[in-house]
């Protein structure tokens, strides 16, 4: 069973670009153009396989490739047999493995996405006329099992629990297991229902009524790695599962021929979940022990004790499940819940058992939730996302995956995704801020210097598409600057004490024209990923205004100089005139004195 992952984002006031970074890594989960997602693939049609043309195909592959198309991921497939695929995943030699059933043993080695992709169970296939109709018929038979598969693990546990012996025939794939039965090396083969339903006729085999080990299948990554990838996968699955006729349902529709026909349902469980199936299995094992009690009393007592421990452990899984588990009868009323269900709703188990599950939805949505469970009754299962109200009236957003486990009971597995939905809403807002900014914003891989993400303003001004940008580096926009000079700027930013760098240069467009730009670059780190963020302002108009101002200033200075020169000349002329006037007045004074002297002499 999956571990509940609550996504929490704490928005700080550092810079808008740090917020944008959260958006890029959460919504554009793998956007490094020089990197690829390495995906393991093995032969298990129709879920995953290599088709006759040598191309990857299957339900998981088509779902993954649609996500890759929307996210801009590059996928690289690595073909391997099942056990080698898991080993490569554990060693981080591949990034992602599809079609992996959750188990607690595997959870120690791998990380799983939250939402189930598809559901599966194990079934025994034999040659026509084998007469195999129950588990005891497999005693002392040669059984073909795929090495490292969940079928191998659980089949051994079941047979050991009953005390049945058998000879294991190893196979590297389900196809090889079927071949071993066809040529007589093995009596029966155990595979999942998807592969079996699609291929048993091709190998001239027959289905038997022996079914066990219900499982929900996921994508898996190396333990603790690529969690952003799993979250992005969950985001797409949540959207698709909540949208009628989405790509997800169209893919399942293509494979609807694999569903068990109505005439066969009396001998098959159409859908069920691991916990419910395993608890039922333990009950059957205990019943088998009672039949064999007289013959193997001593051994049986020991085995019963062991099985009781297993039953207690499975009951503990149910009680401690991170999912709320609601069991409803054919009328829609709840008959059993686990503690997590009480925690999600705020009601006690006694209070819950007086209600139907639709009563937890807001009144205006109760009919829709009721219809959800009607679809389960008709189709065997249904998934959706609905708002639920707690006892205090608080609204929560929950995923509801319901399966019909019998004609009279439906089990719903409920997961609280309120926080992640809120986080996605915040990320959507940040994405709008990023793309609607009037300034150009570039996010650059700190190692390769390739553009990881570019906003709409940058694309509009440069004329490039996003896919073209992701193949480029800043040097492509600045051909007039030496590459070494650009690299020196980024090298300086990589130092621990680095401060944001600001400079001006020309940015060249796709059509060869250019514009003047002011560039502000800084180094950002998010979840151990380093990026350079560059905010670019088109300063062409500012530069033109500065040039005009410079010209006007030069013209004004020239005019001032000319006027100053004219003024100085005028001042010089006035000074000369003043001096001449003073000299004339002095001369006149001298003449007056001489005239006065002459007058005095006459007297």
Domain ranges, ordered by start, for the chain: 122-213, 323-428, 437-538, 551-603
| pLDDT classification of 2: cutoffs 50, 70, 90 | very low
Q: How do residues 540-591 score in pLDDT, each as one tens digit? A: 888 787 778 888 888 888 888 888 888 888 888 888 888 888 888 888 888 8
- Look at residue 303 in the predicted model and tell me its pLDDT: 53
- CA gap 498, 179 in Å, rounded: 64
What percent of the chain shows pLDDT beyond 70?
81
Is the pLDDT assigned to residue 259 strictly greater than 60?
Answer: no
Q: Which residues 6+ apart lie within 8 Å of 149 measured at CB?
A: 82, 83
Mean pLDDT, rounded, for 466-476 = 90
Strand pairing class (501-508; 514-526): antiparallel
Neighbour count for residue 351 (Cβ, 10 Å): 13
Q: How far is CA 449 from CA 75, 82, 487, 536, in A?
A: 21, 37, 9, 16
Is the pLDDT assigned to residue 365 strictly greater than 80?
Answer: no
User: Residue 89: left if φ>0, alpha if ψ -120 to 50, beta else—which one?
Assistant: alpha
- Look at residue 37 in the predicted model and tell me its pLDDT: 95
- Taking alpha carbons only, the member of 382, 362, 380 closest to residue 372 is 382
- Look at residue 505 in the predicted model and tell me its pLDDT: 83
Tokens of 148: 């490292």
Q: Cβ distance 374 to 330 under 8 Å?
A: no
Is the pLDDT assigned to residue 126 strictly greater than 90?
Answer: yes
DSSP state of 137: G
Is the pLDDT assigned to residue 287 strictly greater than 60?
Answer: no
Tokens of 23: 């958006």
- Look at residue 5 in the predicted model and tell me its pLDDT: 30
Q: What is the DSSP string of 424-485?
A: HHHHHHHHHHHHH-SSEEEEEETTT--EEEE-HHHHHHH---HHHHTT--HHHH-TTS-HHH
Residue 362 phi, psi (nearest 5): -55, 150
Own/partner pairs, 246-251, CB within 8 angstroms, 24+ separation: 247/63, 247/66, 248/63, 251/59, 251/62, 251/63
Tokens of 213: 């080990």
Q: What is the DSSP string of 189-239?
A: EEEEHHHHHHHTTTTT-EEEEEEEEEEEEEEEEETTS-HHHHHHHHHHHHH
User: Residue 531: left if φ>0, alpha if ψ -120 to 50, beta else—which one?
Assistant: beta
- Number of residues in the chain: 603
- Look at residue 110 in the predicted model and tell me its pLDDT: 94
Provide the edge-to-edge strand list for the sheet that holds 381-389: 334-337, 324-329, 409-416, 395-404, 381-389
Mean pLDDT, rounded, for 502-518 = 87
- Look at residue 298 in the predicted model and tell me its pLDDT: 52
- Look at residue 139 in the predicted model and tell me its pLDDT: 92
Is the pLDDT assigned to residue 178 strictly greater than 60?
Answer: yes
Question: What's the CATH number of domain 122-213, 3.30.43.10, 3.40.190.10, 3.30.230.20, 3.40.630.10?
Answer: 3.40.190.10
Mean pLDDT, rounded, for 339-366 = 83
- CA gap 25, 450 in Å, rounded: 15
Q: What is the DSSP string of 506-546?
A: EEE-TTS-EEEEEEEEEEEEETTEEEEEEEEEE-HHHHHHH
- CA gap 312, 314 in Å, rounded: 5
Q: If 0-12 CB within 10 Å is exposed, 13-18 middle and 19+ buried, where does residue 558 land?
A: exposed
Is the pLDDT assigned to residue 17 strictly greater than 70?
Answer: no
Is the pLDDT assigned to residue 382 strictly greater than 80?
Answer: no
| pLDDT classification of 225: cutoffs 50, 70, 90 | very high
- Taking alpha carbons only, the member of 77, 74, 66, 65 closest to residue 39 is 77
- CA gap 378, 193 in Å, rounded: 20
Tokens of 224: 């603790």
Do the two domains 323-428 and 437-538 of this chain adopt the same fold? yes
DSSP state of 262: G
Is the pLDDT assigned to residue 264 strictly greater than 70?
Answer: no
Q: Cβ distance 97 to 230 under 8 Å?
A: no
Is the pLDDT assigned to residue 532 strictly greater than 80?
Answer: yes
- According to CATH, the topology of domain 323-428 is Beta-Lactamase (3.30.450)
| pLDDT classification of 496: cutoffs 50, 70, 90 | low
- Look at residue 422 in the predicted model and tell me its pLDDT: 59
Q: Which residues 6+ apart lie within 8 Å of 591 measured at CB?
A: none
Average pLDDT, the chain: 79
List the single range of 13-22, 248-257, 416-425 with lowest mean pLDDT. Answer: 13-22
Q: If 0-12 CB within 10 Å is exposed, 13-18 middle and 19+ buried, where does residue 527 land?
A: exposed
- Beta-sheet strands, E only, within 280-430: 324-329, 334-337, 381-389, 395-404, 409-416
| pLDDT classification of 426: cutoffs 50, 70, 90 | low
Q: If 0-12 CB within 10 Å is exposed, 13-18 middle and 19+ buried, where does residue 117 land?
A: buried
CATH class of the domain whose range is 437-538: alpha beta
């Amino acid at each position: 069973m999956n571990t509940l992952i609550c996504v929490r984002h704490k928005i700080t006031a550092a810079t808008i670009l740090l917020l944008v970074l959260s958006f890029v890594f959460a919504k554009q989960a793998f956007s490094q153009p020089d990197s690829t997602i390495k995906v393991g693939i093995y032969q298990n049609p129709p879920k995953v396989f290599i088709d006759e043309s040598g191309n990857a195909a299957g339900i998981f592959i088509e779902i993954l490739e649609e996500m890759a198309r929307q996210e801009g991921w590059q996928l690289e497939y690595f073909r391997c047999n099942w056990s080698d695929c898991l080993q490569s995943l554990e060693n981080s030699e591949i990034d992602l493995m599809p079609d992996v059933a959750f188990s607690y043993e595997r959870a120690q080695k791998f990380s799983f996405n939250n939402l189930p992709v598809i559901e599966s169970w194990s079934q025994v296939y034999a040659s026509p006329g084998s007469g195999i109709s129950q588990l005891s018929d497999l005693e002392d038979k040669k059984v073909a099992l795929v090495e490292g598969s969940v079928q191998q693990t659980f089949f051994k546990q079941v047979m050991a629990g009953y005390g049945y012996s058998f000879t294991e025939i190893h196979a590297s794939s389900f196809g090889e297991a079927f071949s071993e039965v066809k040529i007589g090396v093995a009596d029966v083969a155990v595979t999942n229902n998807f592969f079996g339903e699609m291929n048993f006729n091709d190998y001239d085999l027959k289905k038997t009524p022996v079914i066990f080990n219900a499982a929900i299948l996921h994508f898996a990554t190396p333990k603790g790695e690529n969690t952003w990838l799993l979250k992005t996968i969950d985001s797409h699955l949540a959207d698709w599962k909540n949208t009628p006729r989405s790509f997800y349902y169209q893919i399942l529709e293509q494979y609807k021929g694999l569903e068990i026909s109505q005439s066969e349902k009396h001998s098959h469980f159409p859908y069920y979940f691991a916990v419910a199936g395993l608890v039922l299995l333990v009950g059957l094992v205990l019943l088998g022990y009672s039949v064999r009690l007289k013959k193997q009393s001593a051994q049986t007592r020991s085995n019963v004790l062991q099985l009781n421990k297993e039953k207690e452990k499975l009951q503990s899984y149910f009680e401690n499940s991170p999912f709320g588990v609601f069991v409803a009868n054919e009328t829609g009323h709840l008959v059993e819940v686990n503690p997590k269900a009480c925690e999600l709703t705020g009601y006690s188990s006694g209070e819950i058992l007086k209600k139907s599950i639709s009563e937890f939805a807001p009144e205006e949505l109760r009919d829709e939730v009721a219809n959800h469970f009607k679809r389960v009754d008709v189709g065997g299962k249904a998934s959706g996302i609905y708002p639920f109200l707690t006892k205090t009236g608080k609204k929560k957003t929950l995923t509801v995956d319901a399966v019909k486990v019998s004609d009279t009971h439906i089990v719903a597995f409920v997961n609280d995704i309120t926080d992640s939905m809120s986080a996605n809403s915040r990320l959507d807002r940040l994405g709008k801020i990023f793309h609607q900014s009037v300034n150009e914003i570039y996010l650059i891989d700190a190692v390769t210097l390739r553009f990881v993400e570019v906003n709409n303003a940058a694309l509009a001004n440069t004329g490039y598409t996003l896919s073209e940008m992701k193949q480029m580096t800043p040097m492509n926009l600045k051909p007039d600057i030496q590459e070494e000079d650009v690299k020196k700027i980024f090298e300086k930013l990589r130092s621990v004490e680095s401060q944001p760098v600001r400079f001006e240069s020309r940015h060249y467009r796709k059509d060869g024209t250019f514009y003047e730009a002011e560039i502000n670059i800084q180094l950002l780190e998010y979840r151990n990923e380093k990026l350079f963020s560059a905010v670019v302002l088109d300063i062409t108009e500012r530069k033109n205004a500065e040039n005009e101002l410079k010209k006007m200033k030069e013209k004004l200075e020239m005019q001032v100089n000319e006027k100053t020169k004219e003024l100085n000349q005028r001042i010089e002329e006035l000074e000369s005139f003043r001096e001449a006037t003073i000299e004339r007045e002095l001369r006149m004074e001298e003449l007056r004195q001489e005239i006065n002297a002459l007058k005095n002499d006459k007297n």
